[in-house]
Amino acid sequence: MDIRQLRYLSSAARSGSLTHAAKEHHVSVQAVSKGVADLEREVGTPLLTRDNRGVRPTALERAFLERTRDVLEGFSALQAFVANIPGAMCDVVAGDAAGRLLVAFCAPAFTNAERIMQKLSRFLSHATGVRLELFVSPLDDALAALDAGAVDAVITIGTHRSAQTTCTVIGSLPTGIAVRDDHPLTRQRAVALADLAPYPVIWAEPFDGARESVLARYLAQGLASPVIHVDTPAVGAGGRTSRAIDEGERARAYSMMVYLPALKRPFPGCRALPIATPDQIPVPICLVAKTDAPGPALTAFTERIPKVLASFSRSDVSDEAVRATAPAGAPAAVDGSPAPSSIEDPTAPIPPAA
């Protein structure tokens, strides 16, 4: 079976008409009929009942469609992702390819990363007026993709400079920690370095090993917490921990991170707390791109993103904040769906694309 057959079947079952399905996919009725018939032959049983009024799904086809929904949605998301890859040979909306950016966001792999990046992409697309797709990647992989022309830019925490790239500081963000919901420090609204000293801190390779990582900055300033070294898995690949972490350590440990008030729950079962003002060390957020002349989309994004990042350091990212940062004519979202007014609760369901 192939994806076209599944799409033809889904459209025909939804509309009750092979003709409507053909119009939806811009093909002939014969193509839809043949695709559905070939699929039925492969499955070994009819999936549509045909009569004078059109078509309707059989009982088996209803169960079949339930199992194809995620496949179709996943394939559409994959197509949208590929369409954003610079130089990709695929269909995109006419006149829109030059205005899209694919940007690697350098951070450790984490739970719900794809969902959070989707919501953040939609928010930033609306706020900057540039169609954007973000994905999480280790720094080395992201820079390799940039060098190969597979991504338009890389967002890093801390600066990164080389002869082949430009590094533009697009803002700074406050810092904080991530802890489990049952951690003793959750009783506080903010934490000082002295508060952290009794608790172990996670050093996650390769991210915390970077010279300008959040954790490296605080250790240089005298953070006294015992350090637990772990290796984080690369996105899409396996990994290993440097040593086993027992449950007692896990319950008491914390991780250093940038602190976004709009993302107070970065992971399920965890919450973020800001570092108290006297000990606060903001970190620069940088946009790394190739030294070649940037296109209009990247230029516009570079000019507009500092104002958006400044809004992230406030206590909320409200409707008013979005309207204040969004330029005239900003797209509703990267896929045309309504833009979120904030990125609060990133694990909430994402509306389907229009």
pLDDT digits (tens, 9 = 90+) for 165-185: 999 999 888 999 999 999 999
Which class is domain 3-83? mainly alpha
Q: Please report, for the chain, the start and end positions of each structural domain, with discontinuous segments joined by +.
A: 3-83, 97-172+284-325, 175-279
Across 131-146, average pLDDT: 85
Q: How far is CA 256 from the centre of its chain?
A: 20
Half-sphere exposure of 147 (CA within 13 A, CB side): 9
Second CATH level (architecture) for the domain 175-279: 3-Layer(aba) Sandwich (3.40)
With contact defined as beta carbons under 8 Å apart, do 337 and 77 qualify?
Answer: no
CA 354/CA 343 separation, integer angstroms: 19
Provide the pLDDT for residue 226. 93
- Of residues 73 and 101, which shows the higher confidence score? 101
Better pLDDT: 59 or 86: 59
pLDDT at residue 286 is higher than 70: yes
Per-residue pLDDT for 12 more than 70?
yes
Q: pLDDT digits over 203-229, tens only?
A: 877 677 666 789 989 999 899 999 988
pLDDT-derived band at 95 (thresholds 50, 70, 90) equals very low
Indicate the pLDDT class of residue 291, thresholds 50, 70 and 90: confident
How far, in Å, CA of 209 to CA of 207, rounded? 5
Mean pLDDT of the chain: 76
The residue assigned the tokens 């694309």 is 353
Domain 97-172+284-325, architecture per CATH: 3-Layer(aba) Sandwich (3.40)
Helix, strand, coil proportions of the chain in percent (round to 5)? 40, 20, 40
Alpha carbons 153 and 167: distance in angstroms, whole number: 10
Residue 221 C-beta-side C-alpha neighbours within 13 Å: 15
CATH topology identical between 97-172+284-325 and 175-279:
yes
Listed residue (174, 145, 177, 121) closest to 311, CA to CA = 174
Longest Cα–Cα distance of the chain, Å, equals 79
Question: What is d(CA 129, CA 305) in angstroms, rounded to the nearest whole number?
Answer: 10
% pLDDT > 70, the chain:
73
Per-residue model confidence (pLDDT) at position 253: 93
Q: State both tokens at 45.
A: 């049983």
> Rounded to an integer, what distance in angstroms lies between the CA atom of residue 230 and that of residue 247?
15
d(CA 201, CA 189): 19
CA distance 58 to 50: 10
